[in-house]
């Protein structure tokens, strides 16, 4: 298998240590396997995306010393050639393709209405009978009650976990599940490295792909790793600005500190790690011992 993966940050806040560990895991797996790595910035949620967050992505990747083989070289190149907003017609094409093969419907329910009728906050299917799609209402896909999706050998009851999830938003832009899937299909992604909190997103995207006979996505390798948590035991979020890489750097955190954090997270003796090459060397040995993605062990970064 030719390994093709991506770093796919969203510019909705400053990157944090959890993002960095995910990027390092992905980079190590791809470089160890002699594969190809793409930088893909998921900015379809333009209401939350900010130019300063796009700039932060490049600044932190440069600070960490991470390289990629395809994608934008900087903020200007991103906006001119790589923004998801430049691919809206491709996403609409996929939506039309999906509409011919699955039950899609427009939903007029507000978040408050959903919460009033669902103790779990999962959409209860109120508008499921509406088949006419409209321009100013979200589009949902009907998820049958018996939809069980296997992710990492774990059976996920998609209807119970996500309900009839949104695939097109009321602002005329694709939802994350659709845009991410289309980009992975178009770019030939074969390895997707995510936190365990995104297992349901993987299940949702596998569900979408199955309706369009997109078998390549289902054949990808998915790695869902444990999350980095804060002192309170909660997963890191971009809303925790004090825990951003930018803020950590201001208080003296070095790339070595992040490399060692990633090493600990992967079960590598962090005491031997000083630079990125040390981490790659240690990961190669770990991968060889655990038979993680066969690839040329002598591949240089």
The confidence score (pLDDT) of residue 298 equals: 37
* Residue 176 resides in a domain: no
The confidence score (pLDDT) of residue 213 equals: 84
Note whether 127 and 77 are same-domain residues.
no
Whether the pTM exceeds 0.85: the reply is yes
Residue 135's CB: how many other CB atoms inside 10 A?
9
* Residue 257 resides in a domain: yes
Residue 241's CB: how many other CB atoms inside 10 A?
12
Residues in the chain: 301
The confidence score (pLDDT) of residue 239 equals: 57
Torsion angles phi and psi, residue 176, rounded to 5: -55, -45
SS3 string, 218-255, reads HCCEEEEECCCECCCCCECCCCCHHHEHHHHHHCCCCH
* Residue 183 resides in a domain: no
Note whether 58 and 132 are same-domain residues.
no
The confidence score (pLDDT) of residue 300 equals: 38
Note whether 71 and 111 are same-domain residues.
no
Residue 53: domain span: 4-85+188-290
**Per-residue confidence in pLDDT tens, the chain, 301 aa:** 789 999 999 999 999 999 999 999 999 999 999 999 999 999 998 788 999 999 999 999 999 999 999 999 999 999 999 999 999 999 999 999 999 999 999 999 988 999 888 888 899 999 998 877 777 899 999 999 999 999 989 999 999 999 999 999 999 999 999 999 999 999 999 999 999 999 999 999 999 999 998 889 999 999 999 988 765 555 666 655 557 999 999 999 999 999 999 999 999 999 989 999 999 999 999 988 776 655 443 333 3
Note whether 79 and 94 are same-domain residues.
no
CATH number of residue 215's parent domain: 3.40.50.620
* Residue 150 resides in a domain: yes
Note whether 193 and 285 are same-domain residues.
yes
The confidence score (pLDDT) of residue 60 equals: 98
- Looking at 168, 202, 219, the residue that finishes a domain is 168
- Looking at 168, 198, 219, the residue that finishes a domain is 168
Number of folded domains that form the chain: 2
């Amino acid at each position: 298998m030719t390994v093709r993966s991506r770093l796919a940050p969203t510019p909705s806040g400053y990157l944090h240590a959890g993002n960095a560990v995910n990027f390092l895991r992905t980079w190590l797996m791809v470089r160890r396997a002699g594969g190809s790595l793409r930088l893909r910035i998921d900015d379809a949620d333009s209401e939350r995306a900010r130019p300063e967050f796009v700039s932060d992505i490049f600044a932190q990747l440069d600070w960490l010393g991470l390289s990629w083989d395809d994608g934008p070289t900087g903020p200007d190149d991103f906006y001119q050639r790589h923004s998801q907003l430049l691919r809206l017609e491709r996403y609409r094409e996929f939506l039309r393709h999906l509409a011919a093969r699955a039950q899609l419907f427009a939903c007029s329910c507000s978040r408050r209405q959903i919460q009033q009728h669902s103790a779990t906050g999962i959409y209860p299917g109120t508008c499921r009978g509406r088949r006419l799609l409209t321009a100013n209402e979200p589009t949902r896909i009907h998820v049958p009650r018996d939809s069980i999706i296997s992710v990492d050998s774990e059976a996920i009851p998609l209807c119970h976990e996500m309900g009839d999830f949104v695939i097109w938003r009321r602002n005329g832009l694709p939802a994350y599940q659709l845009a991410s899937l289309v980009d992975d299909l178009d770019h030939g992604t074969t390895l997707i490295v995510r936190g365990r909190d995104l297992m349901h997103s993987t299940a949702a995207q596998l569900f979408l792909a199955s309706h369009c006979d997109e078998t390549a996505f289902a054949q990808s390798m998915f790695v869902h790793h444990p999350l980095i948590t804060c002192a309170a035991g909660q997963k890191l979020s971009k809303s925790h600005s004090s825990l951003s890489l930018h803020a950590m750097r201001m208080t003296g955190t070095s790339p070595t500190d992040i490399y060692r954090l990633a090493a600990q997270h992967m079960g590598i003796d962090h005491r031997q790690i000083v630079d990125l090459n040390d981490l790659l060397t240690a990961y190669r040995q770990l991968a060889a011992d655990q038979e993680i993605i066969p690839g040329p062990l002598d591949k240089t970064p």
